[in-house]
Structure 1
């Protein structure tokens, strides 16, 4: 068995997760730990990372680590990746999960915040991916998972900047997949709809968005389990929930109808 297909079994494999201190990233860490991986969580909050690492050790029986990093700082990203490769082991799986959003009208959107969102959601992801993929290419084996969003397939009002970042992640990932496949590296894009995490503590100032969506809201542990189950396969995307995947397809095939869906049915902001 060659290339990324070797990674069907994650036991004692090094899995690096950005944005691992809470929410979906935290659940990625726990799911990887349940599969016996050596988890390396990265985020800004060292205290939260330490808690996640302790729980991962309990679940996996393997070492687990929390390394503080600011995803807007390329030097920090490069230093952390080098440290993992040097001190912990070869990175088998990279999960680019770090990111944030803000639901506001573009005409009054603070452009300094827009720039920071681009740096975290897009450029930070790219820097981490390049550093890790160079090492994976030498080994002819690896899996890269980029967390995008349904907002990158179907933009809705008050998601202008966030959608722009996720459209960028999708385009980057689709091209990267073709470049890296001959090198034994898989690239998966995760496109979830709204997830019940503290992401919306920042994104939704009203505090009502998730409540309006009802049963369509995803649970982070379910998303993490479905995503980790694809490692070692050639799966190109995970799209959740199903109703939003259908909506995104209609959006692409029938743009006029897509605008009606995006501006009405799927717009609860």
Structure 2
């Protein structure tokens, strides 16, 4: 394994949204490395497999992104206990970590990139690492350790419209999904603002409606909707949608209230920077 700057690793592992935030935390003495050694130089190069701890803060998952799926499992009352699960867009492994901590039997950590999954998950016998894999072309037979019964989705630079159809061919009927809706990758370029941020609630509504349509077309029922408890890396409000695969064109539950979710997101997240 190679070495990398402390601030870069902190961002890559999902503990901070930007190198500037990571630098401030390091210089404030808030970042601990191997053997709880304090790291005070953002530019110091250390082992890429280093697991960090934030002083005074216990991060329950390997990345802050895990907080998103953790909320979804709780709010949507989803159990992954003893299930084989699929983490599409696994990155550093925050979602996989959440599912394993909630009793998942095994997780396929699938990502188009490489060398992003943190070492502790890469070495976990319950994790099947599927790097450099474009899910658009995945088939059921690719999942050799058993058919996944639940899937999480956290993808970037691609629309969920391209993810739902192949997933519908992999999960069993009644298989459940939590998908993270990222407006900046669903809206047209003309609706995405500076630095890739989507602020207009009207665009948020349009994006959610589009994604619901994509899900229904792929035979997924839309059971519920909520907002992510933290903003995305560029400061975007994101949304969580709960789906279940059907054997017919999908329908939308009465529990889905887009306007209410938008209002709650604005109220809860407007102080996040």
Q: State the TM bucket, normalised to the shorter chain.
A: 0.3 to 0.5
TM-score, normalised to structure 1's length? 0.48
TM-score, normalised to structure 2's length? 0.47
